[in-house]
Amino acid sequence: MKRKLSLLLAVLTAASAAAAFSSCGSSSSAKPTLKVFNWGEYISDGQDDTLDVIEMFEEEFNCNVQYDTFSTNEEMYTKLASGSVEYDIIIPSDYMISKMINEDMLEPIDYDVVTNAANLMERFKTTDYDPGNAYSVPYTWGTVGLIYNTTMVEGTPTSWSALWDENYTGKILMFLNNRDAFGIAEKLLGYSQNSTNADEIQACADLLKDQKKVKPNYVMDEIFDKMEIGEAALAPYYAGDAVTMISENPDLAFVVPEEGSNVFIDAMCIVKGTEQYELANQFINFMCRDDVAQANIEYICYSTPLQTVYDNLDEEIRSNEIIYPDDEVLSRCESFVVLPDDTNQLIQDLWNEIIAE
């Protein structure tokens, strides 16, 4: 859900990953290694005169950090559940955290260590997906909306139906992510984004199949680059990334459609069975520290759940309605919840059919 203020994103991603592995390989083997799995471009990494948060943590806690990235919650979950990868810290979204709690995949947070979590805004101190934040500490939050090119799109596209508009055939980008794609269709049809009704889910699949007539390009992180260089007219994407894109291309704009959308929280969690439990808690506490949290938020342009960090932001950022939407916008938004296995399987099967056509 997740980018930063930068050009040459692919190059920087590769460089960041190379630096992480290099630091692990060159440092003393006697140092503990913390393995972190996060969204791509979702941390201040020392580019553009910003803080290198990972390097700071390594120095302050005399450790190495292996830092890897994923592009969807489902990708992250599948890798962990299969046992093909091992990590200590992960930063999933709300509904995925709930699923992982239910499947006993997370360790409880030690709040004797994570004292900086006391700075969370009241509405983030307890959540539906993790009551009492027993297994997670909020990192960022935001909304999903339409990012569009004002030189290519007439007026403001106030409805998700713009993604089906034949006037933009071949110029529409769409999430390559079944939960987000079905969520858009559900909102457009007036359903809950957490529907378990098979008939409603089938109706959403039919609508998504109908979208094929405008030849959408199914992508994820590529949305960032394609919109920024003017290759596409409009796409669904995350608010924080929209701010970054607009800063690079002032022809772009962002709107949360009138039907409503998804509002999400991404939170830091500790993976069950970690051998670095104490260090993992120290990392979460470090990430909630004012200077570190502010560096991250200012770099990735997402919304902070920490009151002290919010209070210290420039007024221009606090008043940015994309980053901090008003109550009217939020009243139209809905958070994803974990769905039953049979519903997830139905969505996956229908999504496979859509993509294959």
Range of the domain at 130: 9-141+265-324
Residue 140 CA to residue 146 CA, distance in Å, equals 20
CATH number, domain of 256, equals 3.40.190.10
Q: Which residues contact 183 (CB under 8 A, 6 or more apart)?
A: 144, 193, 261, 262, 336
Q: Is 29 exposed, middle or buried (0-12, 13-18, 19+ CB in 10 A)?
A: exposed
DSSP 177: -
As for how many domains the chain has, the answer is 2
Q: What is the pLDDT of residue 24?
A: 44
Residues 119, 243 within the same domain: no
Q: What is the pLDDT of residue 47?
A: 82
Asked if 257 and 159 touch (Cβ cutoff 8 Å), the reply is: yes
| Range 122-151 average pLDDT | 96
User: Coil, strand, or helix at residue 279?
Assistant: helix
Predicted TM-score (pTM) of the model is 0.87
Amino acid at 39: W
pLDDT for 164 beyond 80? yes
User: Coil, strand, or helix at residue 173?
Assistant: strand
User: Coil, strand, or helix at residue 183?
Assistant: helix
pLDDT for 19 beyond 60? no
pLDDT for 86 beyond 70? yes
Residue 161 CA to residue 288 CA, distance in Å, equals 39
Pairing of strands 137-149, 234-238: antiparallel
What are the structure tokens assigned to 341, written together?
Answer: 């296995």
pLDDT for 16 beyond 80? no
pLDDT tens-place string over residues 23-72: 444 444 689 999 999 998 899 998 878 899 999 999 999 999 999 999 89
pLDDT tens-place string over residues 283-333: 999 999 999 999 999 999 999 999 999 999 999 999 999 999 999 999 999
In a domain, 175, yes or no: yes
Residues 170, 247 within the same domain: yes
pLDDT for 344 beyond 60? yes
Share of the chain above pLDDT 90, in %: 87
Most confident of the following: 33-47, 157-171, 213-227:
157-171
Residues 55, 181 within the same domain: no
Q: Which residues contact 6 (CB under 8 A, 6 or more apart)?
A: 12, 41, 47, 48, 244
